[in-house]
Structure 1
Amino acid sequence: MTVPITPLRPEECRPEPHAGLGALETAKGNLPLESVDVTARLTGLVAGVEVVQTFRNPFDVSLEATYVFPLPPRAAVTAFRMEADDRVIDGVLKERGQARADYDRALAEGRRAAIAEEDRPDVFTIRVGNIVPRERVVVRLTMSQPLPYEDGAAEFRFPLVVAPRYIPGAPLSGPAAGDGVAPDTDAVPDASRISPPVLLPGFPSPVRLSLTTTVDSAGLGLREVRSSLHEVEREGDTITLRPGERLDRDFILRLAFDASSSLALVPDTLSGGVPDAPGGVPERVPGGPAGRGPRAGETTAGGEAGDASGTPEGTFVLTLLPPPEDTARSAPRDVVLLLDRSGSMTGWKMVAARRAAARIVDTLTRHDRFAVLSFDSVVERAFPGGLVEGTDRNRYRAVEHLARLGARGGTEMLAPLEEALRLLGERDDDLPGEPARDRVLVLVTDGQVGNEDEILERVGPRLGGTRVHTVGIDRAVNAGFLGRLALLGSGRCELVESEDRLDEAMEHIHRRIGSPLVTDVSVRAEDVDLVPGTVTHAGSLYPGVPLVVTGRYRGRTAGALTVHGRTADGRAWEERVEGRPARDGAARAVWARAHLRSLEDRYAVGDRSLEQQIIDISLRFGVLCRFTAFVAVDTHVTSEGAPEHRVLQPVEPPSGWEIPAAMPMMVAGAPMMARMASVTSSAEAAPGTAADAPIGAVSGAVAPSAPFAAAPPPPLAPAPGAPGGGARPSRGFSAGGFLSRRGSEPAALTDLDGVRPLLTEELTRLGQAESLPERERRRYLADLASRLRVVAQMVGSHPGLLALAADLDKAEWAESSLDDLWRRAVDLLTGLVGGSGRGEHGARHGEGEHGAGDGGGRHSSATERERRRPFWKRS
């Protein structure tokens, strides 16, 4: 008996040998993306990359093709070009809403157009519209990226597939933000933009992939080049991917060579900047000018490559190798291991994750305390209660617990992160004579979540004093999110694409769990004029990890930088590095992308006032960000109106994944837009909730964590959208995230009455610590500074707490007066604990002359209302 399963007649299609069940191939083909060609040139520790994507319209009507694809999270996209019908149209970088409006208008008028947008630091979308039947359109992206370097080796990692991500939250009503398979939710309001359909396993490779890398050691003494996941061929300095490879895993090259300390000074005229040039790039057609105009977005009104006075500018790159590793015993540690056991961790990733966690457990000593939490849709503990001592028995029990874990369920990451931070905040059983303990959180996951900004918003303000290390285990890891989380936690991000790589990566994590060699690192210029507000954060100096600081300078290309810091015993430390002129075409773009990423992280944590600044910097330096887009519009009319057919290009299933049966997948001949089969919640977003809020804003339906308690641990907060997950009153401060609002300060979570129990505890512990040795008292005050700063943010800002925290940051400096700082801390805390709840402000913070939450009519114009819409919905 034969049962037809497709409406196609046998003469219209033929089975593809060795293909998956239901996978068919038509005579024309039905997927628009024909090929992806990547060309990279590695020069020292910087990579310049061009990505060429070729689209073909196999249909008999005009087509709009959409492709969701990854790029390295630290890449700076600086150019975009469309080529079709012997015409070359260079893209122009514009504010995202304006770029979309230009693109939509061109399509409606029958003109060919293309647009490139960033949806995540490592997820991008290209749309090419009005491709006429049987026509090929080529789009080119140009970018630069730094190569991470440590322990004598650099790594070039180029992602090739956007892996499926877990999307939490309740579905939103209204039109979807994109055409993907996941519905938009209150936790991930743009989920439909980052969830392309997935091909069935076994489907024949629909896209031709080529990748060529040329390596220039730039005098660093290259010793070895290794490819981790792909078969390659090497001829001289050129490494080429063998034909037949698929876009289902990251491409990784590791280069072993020696580095040296240096200060490179790169004038804009040598790194792609064009001072005082008009903005915008006209289209280039055959017979046009041979030269290239200024790159799109390099300048805007009032934003030339030089400053307002016409003084030339440039970019500096400072690289400093750390001193030899300190052999002294590190301080005792409080460590929480957070292990992802969700369904996407199936297979080798779960095995590698268990091994990674077990390796960390084995490094603990009886002086340390630890906890092991595993999570999917729920959180499980290896031990009841809080932290336990690192005895042989407890370590053995933890390893046994890890060995029993298997992959299952969804990736609800926010609740376990908040629980881990709560455990690390419980210091009540510290003895007065015990030295200060290092607090460390290690997250082992593939990072495949869509609510990255919600997570950063909720946990970012609580990371003061806690080091966060992330271990990303996947062949297509969400490196952008894991890197940002590690950056906020002043920690390390290790990416593990195979079990062979695991031991090397975990060795790095082990060495970083201890205390840094040098803290309070700062840079002082000598005979070089640094531009204020442009120097990247120096952080601390750790064993085996070079310190890289970049920024902008103006004036002559000469001078030196002196790096200052404090050793573990509070003594001053410094090193002077002479500058030298350099020709590094990527330096300007790499700095701009890093600077934009830092601002975007602050935006995600809650500072919505940064949006215009981010746009201005993106346009000035011609670097794509989440608020801008490259758009290329042809002047010729190619069709009668908008495209008649639209296709979202499906992606490969990531290598090593076992796709769950419920995962939406694509087969040839099936509808190109597949939605989730069912939705369990009919909740609708009310006006003003996450449906209309910028990225990172959280709907009131998302439950905050339990209030602070020093006694028995409260139950975990329900997952977003779960029953009982409604917002709770903020009496006793909430450990949840900052509610977004416009302005320079974070919104208050509570008032001083709400944080008084915490301040009372801090005052009590301060009295108990008064008998500690001088060095321990100094360290205690330095730790107290970070906690007071968090409390100040919880009440929306408190000048007294912030000023005291700034001074306590210097408590470990040998020249600081310990007695004076101690007295000031006791006096201020005593005053706040016994105050009226209105503190030094006289009025509750956030209540201005218009009343709480009243914008005073400042945002009433149509332009501003459009600006306040989510940037992925602007038009």
Structure 2
Amino acid sequence: MKITSLDPTLCLPLEDSGFGALRTEQGNLPLESLDVKASITGLIAGVEVAQGFRNPFDVSLEATYVFPLPDRAAVTGFRMEADDRVIEGVLKERGQARADYAQAVREGRRAALAEEDRPDVFTITVGNIVPGERVTVRLTLSQPLPYEDGAATFRFPLVVAPRYIPGAPLDGEQAGSGAYPDTDQVPDASRITPPVLLPGFPHPVRLSLSATVDAAGLELTELASSLHVVEQEGTTVSVRPGERLDRDFILRLGFAASTSLQVDEGGAFSLTVVPPAVPEGRVPRDVVLLLDRSGSMGGWKMVAARRAAARIVDTLTAADRFAVLAFDSVVESAFDGLREASDRNRFRAVEHLSRVDARGGTELLDPLRQAVSLLGEPGRERVVVLVTDGQVGNEDHILEQVGGALSAMRVHVVGIDRAVNAGFLGRLAGLGAGRCELVESEDRLDAAMEQIHRRIGAPLVTDLSLKGQGLEEVTHLGSIFPGVPLQVFGRCSGEGPLTVHGLAAGSPWEQSVAPVTVANPALPALWARARLRELEDRYAMGEHALEPRIVRLSLDHGVLCRFTAYVAIDNRVVAEGGPQHRVIQPVELPSGWEMPVAAAAPMMAAAMPMPKPASRSFAPAAYSAQEAELDLPDFLAGGAAQAGAPARGPVAPGAPAGPPPPPAARGRGFAKRAMRPAPAPTDHVQAQLAAELVRLREVTADRELYLADLASRLSALAAFLGGHAELEALARELERADRPGADVGALWQRAIDVLARLAGPEGTPERRPFWKRG
């Protein structure tokens, strides 16, 4: 075959193109722009985030975007703008919000949904964007600024970094559309793992970010941005055009904070207490240092982590004992057990740390368990120091397993990354009344090491308590460390001063602060957000009875949490039949990260549009193409009906069992098997009926279509059982549900009654996880 050379002028390279670049005549991906405007007043920032979506396709579109927000921010407003219309979002219980959104989208109305999946990971879904249309969704939030050593920090994350997802994949319905499946340790993994763009994507999202600073009467001495190139005009700092969404935006504001108590008219307050001038106490400590050596720590992060760990070892004295554990998928120790922090042992530990390289996965739970077991001796201060980027997805599982034990120790965390998982690391440090220090670059390492050196020792004031008239629901007090003011939110009905009590160097210490009334609407929102985060952590650690209380607090104060969601719904029909195309927005690979081999397939998939569904179907796609080829009994009975058939594990608790394959996928020999004697009902069949019952009870719209669809599945199940009179009769009744004159309400209730009886105890299963409701 002859190979013809092309004219070079006919195949010019795309501007900024690289491996994995994608450009089509229809345009690129739906997220077109991100606009962040922050107004900083003292130690509080008010922020408006605008996300601009455009439909580049010739059919109606549903776009999903997984993105970060500051973990301490209170989201208090949501609205959608499209076609010269503004639709204000309403905060509802999460399952109800999702059901309302799904119904609106099915009816062809434009709608948007905002959900929280982690304290710093959120999802926006916008449905029925018509071809060529632009839709803007806006979030309003308030966030407190951490303050230490004479500077406040405004940190705004811009990308959700890939996270390590441990555990066995779950069968059945997935919680989201992400790159990785849900697992038993991360049951919502598919919601927090957006696909990642391959390097070189030519047209990134247009980023506009500005912050206007009002020092609120304090002398502003410095404005410094550490990761982005910025432009400054007066006290407004803006990111230079062309920057990408691949790292956190960090702005440091130098000024001197002071002790203060701000109270709004409703009684919400913010208390700031600067560290007292008392000598630092030194008590013998048992310290376990955990160094993350997983693959995501490669490059400059591993160098910085080794230096940080070595500096921490140098802070120890001869009265201390310590252990050094480096972990990825396995845990390696510098030596057995706790050793005295002699010069020789500290030298051996630093020598061990110098040989640590990045590899493997971030299996964080096992090293935390080992640290807890090593720190069992009473009478000494027990300290855990974790050096990591925190990029794990099983945060709640970790808190459930070791959160209680860690709360009895002091936990310090050093987070190293340009897109650090600050939310989880802050939760760990907060449990153990310790400090979370974040290092975003090599340039910041020396300054951060100095802060770590000062704070890794004992705090200045411990055993804190707050007293005053009418105090209620005060956030966790923690301890006071050198250079770090105490910041507390709460509510009070009294008008007098508040007094902080504690122990400083073993002696009683207290300080009273007089209130100043302010008109700041952010105060009640920040208190509610801080209180919600504490309750959600307790829920993750096993206190599931807190859910109604969390929902009530969220709705009463209009602050988004994991159990609620904002939904904005237009009342006009713009796309008959609902969206015909669905896309989850891929995100940038974080700056400084190397392309992980294991992530290549999901990242390549990010550059490809998702397939358009062939038709609208209410049967959940809970089985793979491989499972569709199995014979029906194998699918229902876990593969036990036929020798050599692939085995399926049991249905995971809380996950609905998958439906039988449709008739076209039953496989050969179905009629012959139907002639066999009817097998006795099994747990698998009852689980199947229970799952159908759960889904049926959640249907709120188009019930006639769902019931007709259910009829075919019940017929197949009855045939598998070799004939089942009640199921067959119910299926025949439901087949008429979508015909004129059918009493849909009566048929729906009839189906519920029959399935509840046949499913037995499985007919009243526990409520579905909040991330799958609706």
Bucket of the pairwise TM-score, normalised by the shorter protein? 0.7 to 0.9
Counterpart selection for 1:122 from 120, 123, 135 = 120
Q: 2:236 maps to which residue?
A: 238
Equivalent AA in structure 2 for residue 320 of structure 1: V
- Asked whether the 8 Å contact 2:22–2:28 carries over to 1, the reply is no
Q: 2:283 maps to which residue?
A: 331
- 5+ residue gaps, structure 1: 5-9, 268-312, 428-435, 694-856
Alignment of 1:469-480 (within 5 A): 469-480=412-423
Q: How far did residue 520 of structure 1 move?
A: 2.4
Q: 2:204 maps to which residue?
A: 206
Q: 2:588 maps to which residue?
A: 652
Q: 1:590 to 1:668 in 2, by over 3 A?
A: closer
SS at match of 1:25: coil
Offset from partner CA, 1:191-227 (integer Å, 9 cap, x none): 0001111011122242100001100000121110100
Alignment of 1:663-812 (within 5 A): 663=599, 664-666=602-604, 670-672=608-610, 686-687=650-651, 689=653, 691=655
SS at match of 2:251: strand
Q: Which sits farther off after the overlay, 16-25 or 477-486? A: 16-25
Q: 2:504 maps to which residue?
A: 567
Counterpart selection for 1:502 from 430, 445, 457 = 445
- Asked whether the 8 Å contact 1:438–1:514 carries over to 2, the reply is no
Offset from partner CA, 1:560-601 (integer Å, 9 cap, x none): 1122223333x4322111111112221111111000000000
> Is residue 544 of structure 2 the alignment partner of residue 608 of structure 1?
yes
> Is residue 493 of structure 2 the alignment partner of residue 554 of structure 1?
yes
Equivalent AA in structure 1 for residue 334 of structure 2: A
* Alpha-carbon separation, structure 2, partners of 1:511 and 1:657: 30
Counterpart selection for 2:55 from 44, 54, 57 = 57
Q: 2:319 maps to which residue?
A: 367
Q: 1:869 maps to which residue?
A: 768
* Alpha-carbon separation, structure 1, partners of 2:9 and 2:88: 43
Equivalent AA in structure 2 for residue 516 of structure 1: P
Q: 1:178 to 1:869 in 2, by over 3 A?
A: same
Offset from partner CA, 1:601-633 (integer Å, 9 cap, x none): 000011000000000000000000000000000
Q: Which sits farther off after the overlay, 637-646 or 386-395? A: 386-395
- Asked whether the 8 Å contact 2:170–2:652 carries over to 1, the reply is no
SS at match of 1:610: helix
SS at match of 1:407: coil
SS at match of 2:597: coil
SS at match of 1:26: coil
Equivalent AA in structure 2 for residue 95 of structure 1: E
* Alpha-carbon separation, structure 2, partners of 1:246 and 1:490: 35
Equivalent AA in structure 1 for residue 128 of structure 2: N
> Is residue 316 of structure 2 the alignment partner of residue 316 of structure 1?
no
Equivalent AA in structure 2 for residue 162 of structure 1: V
* Alpha-carbon separation, structure 1, partners of 2:3 and 2:394: 43
Q: How far did residue 638 of structure 1 move?
A: 0.3
> Is residue 44 of structure 2 the alignment partner of residue 46 of structure 1?
yes
Alignment of 1:447-596 (within 5 A): 447-526=390-469, 529-530=470-471, 532=472, 534-554=473-493, 558-569=495-506, 571-596=507-532
- Asked whether the 8 Å contact 1:188–1:450 carries over to 2, the reply is yes
Equivalent AA in structure 2 for residue 649 of structure 1: Q
* Alpha-carbon separation, structure 1, partners of 2:567 and 2:216: 35
- Asked whether the 8 Å contact 1:337–1:442 carries over to 2, the reply is yes
* Alpha-carbon separation, structure 1, partners of 2:625 and 2:69: 30
Q: 1:223 to 1:59 in 2, by over 3 A?
A: same
Offset from partner CA, 1:775-797 (integer Å, 9 cap, x none): xxxxxxxxxxxxxxxxxxxxxxx
Equivalent AA in structure 1 for residue 573 of structure 2: V
Alignment of 1:30-179 (within 5 A): 30-179=28-177
Q: How far did residue 92 of structure 1 move?
A: 0.1
* Alpha-carbon separation, structure 1, partners of 2:399 and 2:9: 54
Q: 1:182 maps to which residue?
A: 180
Q: How far did residue 358 of structure 1 move?
A: 0.6
Cα RMSD for the two superposed structures:
2.8
Counterpart selection for 1:633 from 569, 588, 604 = 569
Q: 1:163 to 1:606 in 2, by over 3 A?
A: same
SS at match of 2:413: strand
Offset from partner CA, 1:157-179 (integer Å, 9 cap, x none): 00000000000000110021110
- Asked whether the 8 Å contact 1:159–1:249 carries over to 2, the reply is yes
Q: How far did residue 22 of structure 1 move?
A: 3.9
* Alpha-carbon separation, structure 2, partners of 1:390 and 1:485: 25
* Alpha-carbon separation, structure 1, partners of 2:193 and 2:540: 21
Q: 2:347 maps to which residue?
A: 396
Q: How many pairs were matched up? A: 640
Q: 1:668 to 1:337 in 2, by over 3 A?
A: closer
- Asked whether the 8 Å contact 2:278–2:505 carries over to 1, the reply is no
Q: 1:421 maps to which residue?
A: 372
Equivalent AA in structure 1 for residue 240 of structure 2: R
Q: 2:639 maps to which residue?
A: none
Q: 1:475 to 1:325 in 2, by over 3 A?
A: farther
Q: 1:409 maps to which residue?
A: 360
* Alpha-carbon separation, structure 2, partners of 1:499 and 1:232: 19
SS at match of 2:23: strand
- Asked whether the 8 Å contact 1:119–1:193 carries over to 2, the reply is yes
* Alpha-carbon separation, structure 1, partners of 2:279 and 2:624: 54
* Percent of residue pairs identical: 69
Question: TM-score with structure 1 length normalisation?
Answer: 0.70
* Alpha-carbon separation, structure 2, partners of 1:472 and 1:120: 17
Q: 1:276 maps to which residue?
A: none
Q: How far did residue 424 of structure 1 move?
A: 1.5
Q: 1:519 to 1:628 in 2, by over 3 A?
A: same
Question: TM-score with structure 2 length normalisation?
Answer: 0.79
Q: 1:406 to 1:668 in 2, by over 3 A?
A: closer
